[in-house]
Amino acid sequence: MLSLVATLVVLSLCFAYWGVHFLATILVLSFLIFFHELGHFLAAKYFKVRVLTFSIGFGKEIFSKEYKGTKYQISSIFLGGYVKMKGQDDSNPACKNYDSDSYSVLHPFKKIIILFAGPFFNFILAFFCYLIIAHLGQKQLAAVIGAKSDFASEKLLVNDKIVSINSQKITSWFDISPLLKENNEVVLVRDGKELVLNVKAQYKDAYNEFGQKIKKYVLGISPSNEIVEVYYRGFNSFSYAFNECINASTLIFKGIYKLISMQISPDNLSGVITMGDITTKASELGLSTLLLIAALISINLGIMNLLPIPVLDGGHIIFNFYELIFKKEVNEKTFEYLSYIGMAFLLSLMLFATYNDVKRIFLPNLW
């Protein structure tokens, strides 16, 4: 009862702060969680494992319905979800059952497939989000020069529209930077005429996507306020969706590495409040923007669940690889201790991320 009351209080505060658009956050996060757990569920069913519970959320159930031996429920603590299989229970790591329809009797490779299916479904969902975005179109800054710095090449003029750089087509302003090298072949349109220019870039101080100071090649130009709708059709839409999934995954892996290696501050770690804030604001900007954020969160969810932390899918996958290699299960006591350590670590991480969220969003002027 206490968890239900707490959830209602939190939801009331969220709607009071963000307004009706917060409903979009609830719907997006619910669907992402559902789709993740659906992956586990379908894989378990394929291997004829009995699924006892399919839950969106944790804690006390708000609504439930049993169908063909599985209880489908919505729970009060809306911070994830779970599929509880016969013979497998994260809340009780020692839980085992050796009936023919139990998770415990499966070959480790089949267990790995079930565990991987949840994150895999997150990647599939993100791919389809990007595919829809490709056809809906996405508002981006046009590749039109709005201003020049002192070191910019005299060959480039304000209002020039950049068409390609080093034989690579430019569709928006953000395509320019990754293509630059010291000497560049730039194709642009000026006063309705297409020109081909050899332009030298300068190796200057800049900032990467994590706010770190780096050096890279720049042209010394900035965009105009012109906005362009970027579309991808046919096979290009699949190529776009695949590349965006790879780019987003790479960015997340880089972020994790930089956090672990202390290259960026732990203060950059964000939690569910920031996720809600970004998703709510994205819903105000249109469907394409909302789908973009949903895709990023889905990939994030998939990758985070694959981290080798006990109680996460990745941790269980490591345990099963151990069994595959050494032909025996991880010692029961070791498994329990590691599981509880994993739970404590994730809880601590969640609390720290929530602290960062509150500090960043609600109390920015106090720091």
Q: Which sequence positions are flagged as catalytic?
A: 37
Q: Are 21 and 284 in contact (CB under 8 A)?
A: yes
Q: Coil, strand, or helix at residue 229? A: strand
Cα–Cα distance measured from residue 41 to residue 9, given in angstroms and rounded to the nearest whole number:
31
Q: Are 37 and 54 in contact (CB under 8 A)?
A: yes
Cα–Cα distance measured from residue 157 to residue 81, given in angstroms and rounded to the nearest whole number:
54
Please name the amino acid found at residue 326: F
Q: Are 283 and 275 in contact (CB under 8 A)?
A: no
State whether the Cα torsion 180-185-187-190 is positive or negative: positive
Q: Are 55 and 81 in contact (CB under 8 A)?
A: yes
Long-range contacts of 327-335 (CB under 8 A, 24+ apart): 332/94, 335/93, 335/94, 335/310
Structure tokens at 98: 């050796």
Structure tokens at 273: 């409040």
Structure tokens at 172: 């928006």
DSSP label of 308: S
